[in-house]
Structure 1
Amino acid sequence: MTRPTKADLEAAAEKTLPDVIAPGLRVLFCGINPGLYSAATGHHFARPGNRFWPALHRSGFTARQLDPAEQQSLLDVGLGITNLVDRASARAEHLTSAELVAGGTALAAKAARWHPHWIAILGVTAYRAAFRRPKAVVGPQPEVAGPSRLWLLPNPSGLNAHFQLDRLAEEFARLREASE
């Protein structure tokens, strides 16, 4: 995958990424929104330093660490990717509360259409805003989105210093065990 230039990143603002989704997935991972790097490359969680792909592998969801360019192969193991908010931005903090709430509603509609068993939201603060649950913590949630159960995971961004890779992989593994 070619590294995007500064101009590529600037041009990626407001772009969207297509979902990696199919009916009846075991887990649909839901990011907050695409970063500029991901939007520029066309691949979810593409920025070097993002720990989604390493955590997915270390948790046992995938037999090897996939490259973001291999995202479509997730469907082969019953996994998918979507976002709460479709538009790309430099940071999740650039999203409004209204966008996050609307994203929660849109996610419920996707769940009703695609019927994933679990939806894993990747970001505590975004989840709290989108679902109006200010005290939600990592793990399974009492709410559902359509027919899907919800699980809250830490944001895998390299900017999230609260969860190092090993601990992030442990949280992903808890979901993997629950989804089997």
Structure 2
Amino acid sequence: MLGPSLDVLFCGINPGLYSAATGHHFARPGNRFWPALHRSGLTPRLLSPAEQDLLPSYGLGITNVVARATAQAAELSAEEFREGGRRLARLVAEIRPRVLAVAGVTAYRTAFGRPKAAVGPQEEQVGGTAVWVLPNPSGLNAHWTLDRIAGEMRRLRESIGRGPCGG
């Protein structure tokens, strides 16, 4: 979901089979993207994946590094990530969001050739846009709790000078 004048373009790794079947990003029950987005103050209420069309009204957009749906991101090749990174850089250069937020540090490292990247703001830009790497919100990413993921999204929100709930 893209729109004009985005503050943040969120970028998932690739659609899981559940998300591909529903046509909605981060749709699998147990994925923490939508609750973390709300807890961070980027949306005024908890949105369901089926409400992803509302994101541009909050200055937010959403896409993926790789379009191919898989059961697990581990099924993607390094070349698919690199090609996805090139496509994403073109998209970002075209729509010019304030920040590209990639949800998944390993995906970012592979797609953009940044093997030492860590969660948080990046020194390098993509398509002329600032980059922030977020933890993967999948329920399988046990290293990051919902509160910690929301906290990282909150840091991103505060870094661009947005008050809570898009204010």
Measured against aligned partners, the alpha-carbon deviations of 1:67-123 in whole angstroms (never above 9, x if no partner) come to 100001011010010000011110100000001011111111001111111000000
Q: Which amino acid aligns with 1:150?
A: V
Is the aligned partner of 1:58 residue 2:39?
yes
Aligned counterpart for 2:54 among listed residues 53, 73, 80: 73
Q: Which runs of 4+ in 1 moved over 2 A?
A: none
Matches within 5 A, 1:14-29: 20-29=1-10
- SS of the equivalent of 1:144 reads coil
Query: Do 1:27 and 1:179's aligned partners in 2 also have CA atoms closer than 8 Å?
Result: no
Query: Do 1:117 and 1:147's aligned partners in 2 also have CA atoms closer than 8 Å?
Result: no
2:13 — aligned with what? Answer: 32
- SS of the equivalent of 2:63 reads strand
1:143 — aligned with what? Answer: 124
Larger RCO (CA under 8 A, 6+ residues apart): 2
1:111 — aligned with what? Answer: 92
Measured against aligned partners, the alpha-carbon deviations of 1:30-68 in whole angstroms (never above 9, x if no partner) come to 000000000001110000000000000000001110010
User: d(CA) in 2 for partners of 1:165 and 1:36?
Assistant: 22
- SS of the equivalent of 2:125 reads strand
Percent of pairs with identical residues: 63
TM-score after normalising by structure 2: 0.95
1:147 positional shift: 2.4
- SS of the equivalent of 1:145 reads coil
2:164 — aligned with what? Answer: none
Aligned counterpart for 1:134 among listed residues 111, 115, 133: 115
How many residues matched? 161
Q: Which amino acid aligns with 1:35?
A: G
Unpaired stretches in structure 1, ≥5 consecutive residues: 1-19
1:8 — aligned with what? Answer: none
Unpaired stretches in structure 2, ≥5 consecutive residues: 162-167
1:24 positional shift: 2.2
TM-score after normalising by structure 1: 0.88
Aligned counterpart for 2:139 among listed residues 158, 173, 176: 158
**Which has more radius of gyration?**
1
2:165 — aligned with what? Answer: none
User: d(CA) in 2 for partners of 1:29 and 1:68?
Assistant: 14
Matches within 5 A, 1:7-18: none
1:179 positional shift: 2.1
